[in-house]
Structure 1
């Protein structure tokens, strides 16, 4: 989930945070995220890759192929967060006159 409140470039900030997490991924036995389910060491890099693909799709104005926001998503509220992120990015693009 992107932070649009206190950052000039929320997408790049998120990608930077993923790089930091990736640097520590080999030392992780258990992943306990703020949202979602607990995962084992084997899932850490997969989740980082999934987040990166999602954020890249948002940045490039593409439709993410992410099961966490699709009709079979385990946590239905995530689709709502995704929609709000899309709306925010579209408004920002309109204000700045730049393509998403």
Structure 2
């Protein structure tokens, strides 16, 4: 009985850790969405920055990770006509309220 209770406690403690998305996986997902919307991979960068450094990053926040302690910032690097981030690039939490 004690072993079974111990496993349940361990499982419950692991759930919040598993629920937090890693920054690299979120960044990879957003990268794929931007590329699928026709922006060449060489035409942008995505940087992972701490919340308190977002203003210095000089780009547009398109995602967040690590329990909302890090932001993913999009910066355009090419001179293409497209000057904004595709609407589907970030998560629904990063979209403006409607």
Q: Which has the higher contact order (CA 8 A, sep 6+)?
A: 2
Provide the TM-score with structure 2 as the length reference: 0.27
- Specify which structure has the higher proportion of strand: 2
- Structure with bigger gyration radius: 2
Q: What TM-score, normalized by structure 1, do the two folds share?
A: 0.26
* Structure in which a larger fraction of residues adopt helix: 1
